[in-house]
Amino acid sequence: MVLLAMVVSYAAVAPETYWRSVLPNTPMPKAVTDILHNDKSTDIQVGKGGVSVNAPGVNIGVGSGGVSVHAPGTNVGVGKGGTVSVHAPGTNVGVGKGGDASMHVHKPKPKPKGDCEKISVGKGGIIVRCHNKKKPVNVHVSPFSYKYAANDDQLKDDPNVALFFVEKDMHHGNTMNLHFTKTTSPSSTFLPRKVADTIPFSSKKLPELYTRFSIKPNTEESESMKNTITGCEDKGMEGEKKYCATSLEAMVDFSTSELGKKVKAVSTEVNARMRTPLQKYTIEEAKKLASDVAVACHKQNYPYAVFYCHKTTTTKAYIVSLVGEDGTKAQAVAVCHTDTAKWNPKHLAFRVLKIKPGTTPVCHFLPEDHVVWVPY
pLDDT in tens, 234-262: 988 887 899 999 999 999 999 999 999 99
Backbone angles phi, psi at 19, to 5 degrees: -55, -50
Rounded-to-integer distance, Cα 39 and Cα 5, Å: 23
Q: Is the pTM of this model over 0.85?
A: no
pLDDT: which is higher, 162 or 319: 319
Judge contact between 303 and 195, C-beta under 8 A. Answer: no
Q: What is the mean pLDDT of residues 323-337?
A: 95
Q: Could you read off the pLDDT of 93-146 as tens digits, one per residue? A: 343 444 433 333 333 344 333 333 332 323 333 233 333 333 333 344 466 666
What is residue 154's predicted lDDT score, i.e. its pLDDT? 66
Question: How many angstroms separate the CA atoms of 164 and 174, rounded?
Answer: 14
274 or 280: which leads in pLDDT:
280
Check residue 7 and give its pLDDT: 32
- Torsion angle in degrees (nearest 10) through CA of 335, 336, 342, 347: 70
pLDDT beyond 80 at 24: yes
| Mean per-residue pLDDT of the chain | 74
Of the pLDDT bands very low, low, confident and very high (cuts 50, 70, 90), residue 33 is very high
Q: Are 141 and 148 in contact (CB under 8 A)?
A: yes
Taking only the tens place, the pLDDT of each residue in 306-320 is 999 999 888 899 999
* Mean pLDDT value of segment 15-25: 96
Q: Is the pLDDT of residue 349 over 90?
A: no
